[in-house]
Chains A and B, each alone.
Chain A
Amino acid sequence: MLDKADEQIFNGSVRLVHAVGMHARPAVKLTKLAKRFQAHISVRVAGAPDWINAKSVAKIMAMRAAHGSTIEIKASGSDAEAAVEALVNLIATDFSDEAS
């Protein structure tokens, strides 16, 4: 798990289009999806000082990302690239069931 390939960090950013922002339902979907990946995944509202664990629903809720804000995602680990892509897709498609 500690070979060089896992060290590479993948990034993504996406606009939060959900009408009420990052609330219970979106937060649950996002963390559930993130947990499907081995990668260590962090998110933040663009410009925020701290990155937070995308697998913690409590922290995602506490992030209080509002409608229209930009979410930055970074991931490292074996399936990091796929993880970033999946999360970007989920947020971009407004947390549709197909994307989760």
Chain B
Amino acid sequence: MQGGANGLAYRGRTASIGFAHGPFVRVDADAGGERVAGNLAEEALALRAAIETASGQIADLAGVAGGEAAQILEFQVALLDDEDFIETIFASIGEGNAADVAWRSALDAQIADYNSAEDEYLKARSSDLADLRDRVINVLRGGAGLPLKVPGGAIVCADDLPPSRFLEIDWSDGGGLALLRGSPTSHVAMLARARGIPMVVQLGAIPHAGTMALLDGEGATLELDPSGEQLRLFEKRREMHRKSRASARAILRRPTAFWRGERIKLLINIQRVEDLDHADAQYADGIGLMRTEFLLSERGGLPDEETQFRAYDAVMRWAGPRPVTIRTFDAGGDKPVAGFTIEGEANPFLGLRGLRLCLARPEIFAVQLRALARAAVRGNLKVMFPMVTSADELEAGRKLFADIVQRLRAEGIAAMLPELGIMVEVPAAALAIATFKAAFFSIGSNDLAQYVLACDRSNGALAPLMDPLHPAVLELIARTAEHGRRAGPSVSLCGDMASDPRCVPALLNCGLRELSVNAAALAQIKQTIDRLSSGGALG
């Protein structure tokens, strides 16, 4: 859609509702993927600096990880410190190769050499070299090392944006996200909704540069260098949106939501401790899902026990007597973490992720479990394992956890084993729900739908098929809710469906009485239940 004498306008699809008016900032698609090489001296300096940065990052990671992981990382540091090895790379730069090209070909040669070894142990080291190769290249491209420079309140425009890049941007002054490709069901869209940042995806090509932009997350439009008339209409739409939100917020102050005489518990999802600052958070019945992956994206590598304990404890103190469900690290899949997740999996969504990864990396998992065991004595804590397929995994996690509690107590540290539950997101778990001895279940409808429908949720081309209201998905939700009613464990749903008013009637009809939503959606969902309860139409 083009606006005649007006500024240019583009239409995409809504990923997160809201309005933003601010400077238009193009962010390169692939973190500066097309690196521009300088002269010989500049390239040598760039590599020298990148090696130093990478070396510091790895040393930090090693310090936190400890044990075998630290030894493996130490090998990477030693390699960066190997003058003979590094010298050949500088020689290659001297011959006119760009820093990243020279670095990559040297590392690739080493990797090929290790891979050709008979020795399994040496072969296994090649993945460490690949990790090192990619880390330095990322730094060279300005990726991992430097946070994105984006002015406050900006409309950030990119081809697509990985979650880690979203988290690097300072959104405290608002702003919006306009993606040329992308998908409303992607992980980054979820982050945007949780933070109340308007986001529009699939805008197609935007050949024009702009200075100022208007982003309407409801109408899914982006307008560049708007005319006075465009601005006036935009402000009118923003005002209408604000009024309808205000009436929803008035409902928040009313007592608990009821539907057909049954109490509906409304909890909130948080991605990080600061999400509790949202004005509506206080009206929640508790925290239905605290993700912990933010701890893995902090600078300085994997978080130590104290850092984790402080975060969990802050949330426990906020909640008081209300329940707090903390989910253990859900890394892997579309959430890679350097020094933790497995690189080069052909199909990471079906790979070593969630609890599978934690059980495979007990030295990292143990640190989190220690912090959680200590936080458990501070209030009503529940701990939830993600990506569980079989009851054996839950029991393996429980055993690790129980051992850790015992060890903490032996050290004279207050600790207890909290209630343990699982995410229901693997279809096998939903179908065999009765085999799990869990205190509670929380349905992760995003992944559940993705696995049941065989649709990659980050692939925009599949958006029409990616329907969480598909009868197969609803069937599994209903079976899980039914099991909870018969056998006793509580069942809630913490996926995006719970925050979507269009899905709420179906969820209630499936038998769910507990929903965990983004704080920004709490008012609207409560209003929706209120209207359904009084027999009104959906708002």
Residue from A20, A21, A28, A53 in contact with B78 in the complex, judged by beta carbons closer than 8 Å: A28
Number of CB contacts from chain A to chain B under 8 A: 50
With A24-B75, A25-B71, A28-B74 in contact, do A56 and B113 touch (Cβ < 8 Å)?
Answer: no
Say whether B378 faces chain A, with CB atoms less than 8 Å apart.
no
Q: How far is the CA of A25 from the CA of B67 in the complex (A)?
A: 12
Say whether A55 faces chain B, with CB atoms less than 8 Å apart.
yes
A55 B113 Cβ-Cβ under 8 A: no
Q: How far is the CA of A55 from the CA of B78 in the complex (A)?
A: 10
For A21, the chain B residues whose CB sits under 8 A away are: 119
Residue from B75, B81, B113, B122 in contact with A25 in the complex, judged by beta carbons closer than 8 Å: B75
B83 A57 Cβ-Cβ under 8 A: no
For A58, the chain B residues whose CB sits under 8 A away are: 79, 82, 84-85, 110
Say whether B117 faces chain A, with CB atoms less than 8 Å apart.
yes
B83 A24 Cβ-Cβ under 8 A: no
Residue from B78, B79, B119 in contact with A64 in the complex, judged by beta carbons closer than 8 Å: B119
Q: How far is the CA of A61 from the CA of B79 in the complex (A)?
A: 10
Query: Which residues of A41-100 are within 8 A (CB) of B?
Result: 53, 55-59, 61-62, 64
Residue from A28, A56, A59 in contact with B75 in the complex, judged by beta carbons closer than 8 Å: A28
Q: Which of B75, B78, B85, B128 has the most CB of A within 10 A?
A: B78
B82 A31 Cβ-Cβ under 8 A: yes
Say whether A32 faces chain B, with CB atoms less than 8 Å apart.
yes
Q: How far is the CA of A23 from the CA of B75 in the complex (A)?
A: 10
The residue in chain B whose Cβ has the minimal distance to the Cβ of A32 is: B78
A57 B82 Cβ-Cβ under 8 A: yes
B84 A64 Cβ-Cβ under 8 A: no
Say whether A16 faces chain B, with CB atoms less than 8 Å apart.
no
0 or 1 for each of B83-105: is its CB under 8 Å from A? (1 = yes)? 11100000000000000000000
A24 B125 Cβ-Cβ under 8 A: yes
Say whether A27 faces chain B, with CB atoms less than 8 Å apart.
yes
Query: Which residues of B43-101 are within 8 A (CB) of A?
Result: 71-72, 74-75, 78-79, 81-85
B84 A56 Cβ-Cβ under 8 A: yes
B122 A23 Cβ-Cβ under 8 A: yes
A55 B122 Cβ-Cβ under 8 A: no
The residue in chain B whose Cβ has the minimal distance to the Cβ of A57 is: B78
B78 A62 Cβ-Cβ under 8 A: no
A64 B122 Cβ-Cβ under 8 A: yes
Q: Which of B71, B81, B110 has the most CB of A within 10 A?
A: B81
For B113, the chain A residues whose CB sits under 8 A away are: 62
B84 A24 Cβ-Cβ under 8 A: no
Q: How far is the CA of A89 from the CA of B71 in the complex (A)?
A: 21
Q: How far is the CA of A53 from the CA of B117 in the complex (A)?
A: 21
**B75 CB to nearest A CB, Å:** 4
A57 B79 Cβ-Cβ under 8 A: yes
Size class of the contact patch on chain A: 10 to 19
Q: How far is the CA of A53 from the CA of B83 in the complex (A)?
A: 10
A56 B83 Cβ-Cβ under 8 A: yes
Query: Which residues of B398-450 are within 8 A (CB) of A?
Result: none
0 or 1 for each of B117-133: is its CB under 8 Å from A? (1 = yes)? 10101100100100000
Q: How far is the CA of A56 from the CA of B71 in the complex (A)?
A: 17
For B125, the chain A residues whose CB sits under 8 A away are: 23-24, 61
0 or 1 for each of A1-24: is its CB under 8 Å from B? (1 = yes)? 000000000000000000011011
Residue from B74, B85, B110 in contact with A56 in the complex, judged by beta carbons closer than 8 Å: B85
Q: How far is the CA of A62 from the CA of B85 in the complex (A)?
A: 11
A64 B117 Cβ-Cβ under 8 A: yes
Residue from A24, A55, A62 in contact with B71 in the complex, judged by beta carbons closer than 8 Å: A24
Q: How far is the CA of A55 from the CA of B84 in the complex (A)?
A: 8
Query: Which residues of B246-299 are within 8 A (CB) of A?
Result: none
For B122, the chain A residues whose CB sits under 8 A away are: 23, 61, 64
Q: How far is the CA of A53 from the CA of B200 in the complex (A)?
A: 57
**A24 CB to nearest B CB, Å:** 4
B75 A53 Cβ-Cβ under 8 A: no
The residue in chain B whose Cβ has the minimal distance to the Cβ of A28 is: B78
B75 A27 Cβ-Cβ under 8 A: yes
Q: How far is the CA of A27 from the CA of B113 in the complex (A)?
A: 17
For B74, the chain A residues whose CB sits under 8 A away are: 25, 28
Q: Which of A20, A32, A56 has the most CB of B within 10 A?
A: A56
For A53, the chain B residues whose CB sits under 8 A away are: 84
**A98 CB to nearest B CB, Å:** 17
**B79 CB to nearest A CB, Å:** 6
For A25, the chain B residues whose CB sits under 8 A away are: 71, 74-75
Which 9 A-B pairs have CB atoms at the shortest separation, nearest pair first? A56-B84, A58-B85, A24-B75, A57-B78, A28-B78, A57-B82, A56-B82, A58-B82, A25-B71
25 A–B contacts, CB within 8 A, in A order: A23-B121, A23-B125, A24-B71, A24-B72, A24-B75, A24-B125, A24-B128, A25-B71, A25-B74, A27-B78, A28-B78, A31-B82, A55-B83, A56-B83, A57-B79, A57-B81, A58-B82, A58-B110, A59-B82, A59-B84, A59-B85, A61-B122, A61-B125, A64-B119, A64-B122
Sample of 20 more A-B contacts, CB < 8 Å, known A24-B75, A27-B78, A58-B82: A21-B119, A24-B128, A28-B71, A28-B75, A31-B82, A32-B78, A53-B84, A55-B82, A55-B83, A56-B82, A56-B84, A57-B78, A57-B79, A57-B85, A58-B85, A58-B110, A59-B82, A59-B84, A61-B122, A64-B117
